[in-house]
Homo-oligomer: A and B are copies of this chain.
Amino acid sequence: MERIEHKTSAVWLCIDEQVLDVAAIAAFLPTPQVGGVDLFIGTTRRWTGTRETVLLSYECYPAMALKEMGKIAEAAIDRWKLERVVLHHRLGPVPAGEASIILGAASAHRADAFEACRFLIDTLKKEVPIWKKEHFADGTQEWVQAGG
């Protein structure tokens, strides 16, 4: 799938099969009014108890996923005092240890950034039409059916 992206002065949304670029995201977020930035990075966890995951693979409904990500960004901007918001999601295979998602919120004061970032990930996991399949080391595969 091709990279799909929407970038304004305040919001940067992206869905892409490439490795996510935390430095570019951290560079985008500050503005002259920003004092605090919170970033959430979701990574493929190799071990869950004694079960080993080799990779997660993600698929999405591209146009709708980007629209839903935009709605979440707008909802966060309505609710907290934010200067900038980022939502980047990786698609396709994401090996253990790599990032599948990076979300960020930048605000004058840190409380807004923390609360908004938590909202971004909690809401994205419920609303955005993206699905992950877990590929275990024993060769089995399984669609994950609920936000985790």
Contacts and interface: CB of A to CB of B under 8 A. Distances in A.
B39 A34 contact: no
Contacts of A110: 40, 42, 121
A65 B98 CA distance: 32
The quantity of this chain's copies bound in the complex is 2
Contacts of A112: none
Interface residues of A, number: 33
Contacts of A42: 35-37, 110
A146 to B, nearest CB: 14
Per DSSP, chain A at the interface is mixed
A38 B40 CA distance: 5
Interface in A8-56: 22-23, 26, 29-48
Nearest to A27: B22
Contact of A96 (B32, B48, B97, B117): B32
Given A110-B40, A110-B121, A46 B26 contact: no
A29 B102 CA distance: 14
A40 B36 contact: yes
